Structure 1
């Protein structure tokens, strides 16, 4: 497989943020629909108090829940022939209000780590995109257009004025940029690597792939790629948060998740997962999210019997103690997103389910 084809596979996996797998011993499904239909879904229940009130949607117009606005409000997108609207929905009262609207279709929305700002990705053609930064009132602070077939963007959790952007063209060549909200400008960046993570207000980390886009050495450098320092060998995924740094690698025929302090790289805890066969023969990495308040890492853990994967459990892993807790058993690997108070999780490709972590109750979000 040539380098462009390998990059296409990697970009598809990282931008989609989802994982498909065929567990050992499971019968292959004839289609994705029948595969999902055979998976057990969590029962939808409500607590006696603070009932979750779902969004009343029209299927023709509703696109998706996209992010938390704060701990008790969600943001969702409605696209129609007149353009797109973002609404703010209160999960306990059902009240909703218009947050933002535009004549172009909205691809997605992403909040900053503090939920003070929101990045809105719009596009009206297959080779152009626009990024719009708004404040918590939905007022536009900055907008920027770029030639692009796909975009990847990373907020700087140490300085939320900065966003690192990678724009992929149709031939999967790419350009990097740094958006600076404070200075209201976007500068091209000459770093020859995509998929970076911020390590401080001025430094980044990246994998330096050679011929194969699988395992690679991990490097720390300034935002221009100067003053490189090697952080690890044979890493195939990583993620930086403000207080912890996660690396994912192979270890004794297992997948190893290692957590370190972002400031010192001191190792905190680690755990391993069994390797799962995937349709693409690439490494399977479960969807995950991290709660910086309670220091808990949420992910889907394969449950095995006789070395065969039988199911997936939604697990919380304490970064402080190394202890794990099963939130819900027998789940499908789907995107998850923690609320700012650490009490709730969004689940699903449209975030159409909410999990209340204390009670472990689940409720549907879309009617």
Structure 2
């Protein structure tokens, strides 16, 4: 049930912006601290200053201090590593083609850049955090899905889609420099451990909001159903998260954290919002102890909901919640490895400092004219 699967993931995919825009020369430089230093106890972030050009968006975290962002400069696109607290930046990659997406590996060891020479072409390039190119290949496709292996970051799953959403899956081994097609029934898979994949086994003959969660070896066809009736799921290193909807509480979504053997760690419930014949899953991202997400205040139709969202963190061991902000907009999130800060927004253009409970614009534009 491919189209249905595509719809489900929109709440947790990282944002992309595929088109080149203004063909202008851009310059970047660092700024003074955006907030006063607080007696040296907590670092202050420095915003990115752009005098001209197009900020395409931030892309994720290399470390607790460094992020990756993309800029369009004339006909070129450039990917930078930027230290939020010193203002230092390094050019990681430059392309004469539009950059469609940039994906950072879970521990920040690698960055995968997808540039697009044409509508149905993709140049996939993996660079190390120092900018060294370690793998590159041209793969035809209208769109792509990328899934890094958090247990072995040299291992990547890539699904290449045609315009009708049929797909081909590849397993890339950066260390070996190999890329091979693999047989998967669903394009959107996650790593259950270093050698096994997880996916929802949608029945195309009998459409449903729920599907069983299945575990599969990456080098074989042996499949095992591990959980029935799952609405959505995700995984991080040593953790799995499932979303279900109780039959007797259809206005609630239950998030359950599991270990690698699918033993329950904790669960919590939130009101959910309906969207056509589906439910809206608010954006979220993993942290070392759980994850951070947006929580609506009550259940309603998503188009009619006007209550705003709470930004909360949830501990995967205990299920305990902490509310950081009220009346937030549901937007994509990318959180730092230590979970103390998040990039937020459809271009990840805001920096949320959770320890300070402050929201800082990541970028400042200066249009200097002669």
Question: Could you state the TM-score of these two structures normalised by the residue count of structure 1?
Answer: 0.85
Indicate conservation of the 8 Å contact 2:109/2:129, yes or no: yes
How far apart are residue 113 of structure 1 and its match?
1.2
Contact between 1:47 and 1:361, CA under 8 Å: does it hold in 2?
no
- In structure 2, distance between residues paired with 1:85 and 1:17: 17
Post-superposition offset of 1:4? 6.7
Is structure 2 residue 298 aligned with structure 1 residue 304?
yes
Paired residue for 1:28?
Answer: none
Whether 2:307 is the aligned partner of 1:323: answer: no
The CA deviation string for residues 306-362 of structure 1, in whole angstroms up to 9 with x for no partner, is: 997622100011122221111111100111111123221111111111111112112
- In the alignment, the residues of structure 1 paired with residue 360 and residue 329 of structure 2 have an alpha-carbon distance, to the nearest angstrom, of 16
Alignment partner, residue 334 of structure 1? 331
Q: 1:289 aligns with which of 285, 289, 294?
A: 285
Tell me what 1:143 maps to: 136
Partner of 1:363: 360
Number of equivalenced pairs: 335
Equivalent residue for 2:271, pick from 274, 277, 292: 274
Q: Distance in 2 between matches of 1:248 and 1:332?
A: 21
Q: 1:12 to 1:301 in 2, by over 3 A?
A: closer
Give the Å deviation of 1:46. 3.3
Distance between the aligned counterparts of 1:110 and 1:6, measured in 2?
Answer: 24
2:296 touches 2:309 (CA, 8 Å); kept in 1? yes
Question: In the alignment, is the contact (CA less than 8 A) between 2:274 and 2:300 conserved in 1?
Answer: no
Q: Which residue of 1 aligns with 2:37?
A: 48
Residue 216 of structure 1: aligned partner = 211
- Which position in structure 2 is the counterpart of 1:41? none
Output the CA distance in 1 between the equivalents of 2:356 and 2:45: 13
Q: List alignment gaps of at least 5 residues for structure 2.
A: 17-33, 365-370
Uncovered stretches (5+) of structure 1, i.e. residues with no partner: 19-44
Query: RMSD in angstroms over aligned alpha carbons?
Result: 2.3
Answer yes or no: is the 8 Å Cα contact 1:197–1:206 preserved in 2. Answer: yes
Report what 2:114 is aligned to. Answer: 121
CA-to-partner distance for each residue in 1:239-269, whole Å, 9 max, x for gaps?
Answer: 111121101121121211100112x211011
* 1:49-68 correspondence to structure 2 within 5 Å: 49=38, 50-58=43-51, 60-68=53-61
Look up the SS of the partner of 1:126 in the other structure: coil
| Aligned counterpart, 1:244 | 239
SS of structure 1 residue aligned to 2:163: coil
- Whether the aligned pair in 2 keeps the contact of 1:248 and 1:257 (CA below 8 Å) is yes
Residue 59 of structure 1 deviates from its aligned partner by: 5.9
CA distance in 2, matches of 1:248, 1:171: 28
Give the TM-score taking structure 2 as reference length: 0.84
Cα offset for 1:112? Answer: 1.1
How far apart in 2 are the matches of 1:348 and 1:102? 25
Q: Is the 8 A contact 1:277 1:284 kept in 2?
A: yes
Task: Choose from 252, 255, 269 the match for 2:253.
Answer: 255
3-state secondary structure, aligned to 2:77: strand
Secondary structure of residue in 1 paired with 2:49: coil
Q: Of the two structures, which has the highest relative contact order with CA contacts closer than 8 Å and spacing of 6 or more?
A: 1
